[in-house]
Structure 1
């Protein structure tokens, strides 16, 4: 599990450390950011102390209006035991009361040149990406016509060989063997390779090959949103496979349901071409063009027409 510390945020956004250096190793556990306006007014009943606290011009200008005794009390409460950091925007002057409280409670106080809104947006995006739920799946992820296709199947069914053929056709490899998946937002799964396997593909009989070295930088990409799952399995003569495409199977990864197709593999079937067509057909369906439903409608119309003719007799 990826963990984010205050030090990571400081280095990512080039923040200036003002005080509380002993606490820069604190963990940030939520992507939510707090702007403690009510807390500046003295209301700490529901203070979200586990969030990064962001102070801007509004909060600090109000703070300057408070009596000296209240100012020290507010900052001591703001620097709670589990507060990961307090960040001052616009490079505003840090109140001495905040510096004293941060040193006493070891809460890092940082400064940024950005405005409050700009920094809040960037920090939220960074934390949501880093703290997103993650999992790892044995498979191959390929970008086919802009569609992130996750190939699944038992070991030896030909996932990597199919990916190699797709790369030769001009598509892009994202990950082979192990796909790390994180849910960055609702219904959005992003797949990427482990750092050790980046750009690499394993072909039995040849070994490990570097796709970027062999086919160029355009043959790989570091991550891709997963929208379609295709499972490859050896042809089973006793199994009935979908021939119309009216029934849509789903597979859940983390908290997202994705469309899943099962393609039987046997000698003579060009699997890479079938996967290409599956990706294009998936895109057409998302655009409102469904060949299976259109065929079913035509068939129903033909049956209804024949029934009317028979009724005339």
Structure 2
């Protein structure tokens, strides 16, 4: 069976898992998304795309944007400076928890992929104002995905901004502890926008492929260093699925970064390929139920498990 046919089979096989999840409702715009959508894509090391299901549907990238922003923060500031502001450890807590900020002596976020760490990374992006910073993020995402169709989902952004009080609490807590130096409201405006960029599952597979190739475009052009790509991918593996990260890595064997919009991005450096799934019905940890079923089947059938 060729890869495209296999993806078609896995889409149908895992549709039953959709009923085990539900769309995110705490962001009103995400509550409007059709929960029955399901798509997947694989990008090989030459950049060829194989996809199936709802692979052309645009959806909000949400927390998967954190991988792109971490890469740009590393490019803007260097590794040493970035990790003065955030740790590299799994948190063991929900993505929007304040607990570790309170209990850690230095009050720094545990990693760049939980919300306080991601907000910290957004604050490190260079730019003269919020518009400039967001445009740099958007253009960087377009570049590494080799996809010029990406745009801001304005309604999602406004919905995030209206309902983002927990993120405000996290940022102001860090500000109050003296570890966050930028303007909170301006930084959060950029953060809400970066999470609201519209992508397809094919876009995510291309971004995953970029990191899997060690920061190199399909043209052979290097954008970030091998070391920077390793940092992004290593943290995806250990922290990308929040408090489900260990279980995901053990059961599926992929580095995976999820978003509550229903996407999961999986770079596989040993194969130099990018894998992605999209299914807006998510479980209580915020991860796509149908998407994780597809990834498990791909791991088993194609021997993609990194271990």
TM (normalized to structure 2)? 0.25
- Structure holding more strand per residue: 1
With CA pairs under 8 Å and 6+ residues apart, which has the higher RCO, 1 or 2?
2
